[in-house]
Amino acid sequence: MGKVFNAAADCKSQLHYMVDISGRIEEIKRLVDRGEYFTINRARQYGKTTTLRALKRILDKEYLVVSLDFQKMGDTKFRNENIFSIAFARLFLRSLQGSLGCDDGQVGKSVEALSKTVQEGGGGLELLELFEYLGDICSISAKPIVLMIDEVDSAANNQVFLDFLAQLRACYIDRDVTRTFQSVILASVYDVRNLKRKIRTEDEHKVNSPWNIAGDFNVEMSFSALDISGMLACYEEDHHTGMNVGKISELLYEYTSGYPFLVSRLCQIVDGRIAGSVDFPDKVSAWTRDGILEAVKALLCEKNMLFESLANKLEEYPELKEMLSSILFSGDKITFNHDNYVIDLASMLGFVKNDHGTLVIANRLFETRLYNLFLSEEEISGKIFAAGTTDKNQFIQNGKLNMDLVLKKFMMCWEELYSSADEKFIEDNGRKFFLLFLKPIINGIGNYYIESRTRDHGRTDVIVDYRGEQFVVETKIWRGNEYKGDCIGREDDTGSCGLKIQRKRGNLLG
């Protein structure tokens, strides 16, 4: 059986089509060679586990790598330091013995001593005692030992985890006196250098994390269009679809901004679901612009762990939801600032990114998914949504979308419902109401997204794809004769404020 695209768990080069991450691995190895302790904190399904496993294969040539996963320990193992230390020691010994392969002289003796303590159990094992054993093992190992721990978020709500980090910090500080781990790598969504938002008790907030000795991790883990083209080139060698690898890669990047899971999932949908469908009977027809857009539509409608996690975070953090809504619907420009709790949270979770100092939604797929979520909360009671739903078939003529009619009907509804609206109301709701009107008309067949380069208070371009046609619809605040042009809106000379919506002539893309 040949290779396939993978969007579940880690990717394996012998089984899956993958982006070449060897350059990234070499960057991370240089941090290890320098003896850095650091955290790989990226959003969920961003390739952290794949990266750690690829890194281990490279490091194994020079180092003794102990690779752990805190998810395997379970919540009960973090109740106190004795239980944690025993559980950690078991995982550590299992991984270490697997890396040793066979008894390694004095290391084997130290391993046996720790193993005996673990087996005897008794009163448990204190953290200080655990680290004495670990220090002995590091001191007599022929190779420097690298400790890698995945899914440390599983432990981040526990005081014992802070105590564990404190011991690692002490090891790092005393490494010139006592031999210890060459490097420690923690992988998580949250940055464990600042745990005050994760660790809470009834009467206090933990403010300081002992992981302040960690070095900066600035390795780019998102995929570029060039990265994606390398993966697709390998696929093309096997399947000979005739796709334009460069253009398809750029289109995938436009929608995903290189988010690893989203790239892989779109490719997986094209290869496994779109190809062989009624409209795309083979891989040749699927690996086209229309096939990618069909995959985008399918992905936006599906239920997966990434989208579920994002939705759950919106419920968990109402202030995050409010900020994202203001960016999407009001066009608020927010300066990117890590010191702002909500902005930092949104960044860690992958909702947003820093675009030349301004906060923007991380990628087009997240943006559309968020629009759909927020709009769905208003669909049932929204009069404008009901107007778009009523006789929606009138807007489809011979299988094509009559965008001019959509705009005219929308403005009629707008005038009827909101003719007396003030500027603040229009700024906050104009874009939302147009999308509420449009959504039921194109639902199930077309896609829409917001042109990222024009997000501001005054003007927004809504891009609509429908059966091979692309429409560019401009929305802006209109103040009487201040704006000229081919538009559908209120025309007067009073300088009063209204909503101006126009289909941009000459910008209809086939």
CATH number of domain containing 185: 3.40.50.300
Mark whether 29 and 95 lie in a shared domain. yes
Among residues 302, 333, 349, which one ends one of the domains?
Answer: 302
State both tokens at 425: 């109301």
What is the rounded distance in angstroms from the CA atom of residue 91 to the CA atom of residue 85? 10
Mark whether 69 and 156 lie in a shared domain. yes
The pLDDT profile of the chain, 510 residues, written as one tens digit per residue, is 689 999 988 899 999 999 999 999 999 999 999 999 999 999 999 999 999 999 999 999 999 999 999 988 877 777 888 889 988 999 999 898 877 654 455 566 677 888 888 887 656 789 999 999 999 999 989 899 999 999 988 776 678 888 999 999 999 999 999 999 999 999 999 888 765 544 444 444 444 678 889 999 999 999 999 999 999 999 999 999 999 999 999 999 999 999 999 999 999 999 999 999 999 999 999 999 999 999 999 999 999 999 999 999 999 999 999 999 999 987 788 999 988 989 999 999 999 999 999 999 999 999 999 999 998 887 755 677 777 777 678 899 988 999 989 988 888 888 888 777 777 777 677 788 888 889 889 987 888 988 755 444 445 688 899 988 889 888 776 655 544 444 444 434 334 455 566 665 433 333
Q: How many CB atoms lie within 10 A of CB 224?
A: 14
Q: Is residue 219 part of a domain?
A: no
What's the predicted TM-score (pTM) here? 0.86
With CA atoms as reference, report the closest residue to 104 among 145, 69, 73, 72: 145
Mark whether 152 and 264 lie in a shared domain. no
Mark whether 152 and 281 lie in a shared domain. no
Among residues 213, 241, 259, which one ends one of the domains?
Answer: 213
State both tokens at 265: 């999932």
Q: What is the DSSP string of 385-419?
A: HHHHHTTGGGGEETTEE-HHHHHHHHHHHHHHHHT
What is the rounded distance in angstroms from the CA atom of residue 190 to the CA atom of residue 417? 45
Mark whether 74 and 187 lie in a shared domain. yes
What is the rounded distance in angstroms from the CA atom of residue 337 to the CA atom of residue 29? 30
Mark whether 173 and 231 lie in a shared domain. no
Mark whether 192 and 48 lie in a shared domain. yes
Mark whether 116 and 239 lie in a shared domain. no
Q: Give the list of residues 6+ apart from residue 307 with CB closer than 8 angstroms, or none.
A: 369
Instruction: Identify the domain containing residue 250 by its residue range.
Output: 225-302
Among residues 302, 322, 356, which one ends one of the domains?
Answer: 302
Q: Is residue 423 part of a domain?
A: yes
With CA atoms as reference, report the closest residue to 407 among 399, 419, 415: 415
Task: Domain count for the chain, please give it.
Answer: 3
Q: Quick check: 31 and 58 in contact, CB under 8 A?
A: no
With CA atoms as reference, report the closest residue to 196 among 319, 311, 339: 339
Q: Give the list of residues 6+ apart from residue 322 with CB closer than 8 angstroms, or none.
A: none
Q: Is residue 352 part of a domain?
A: no
Q: Is residue 312 part of a domain?
A: no
Q: Is residue 479 part of a domain?
A: yes
Number of residues that make up the chain: 510
Mark whether 155 and 234 lie in a shared domain. no
What is the rounded distance in angstroms from the CA atom of residue 98 to the CA atom of residue 91? 11
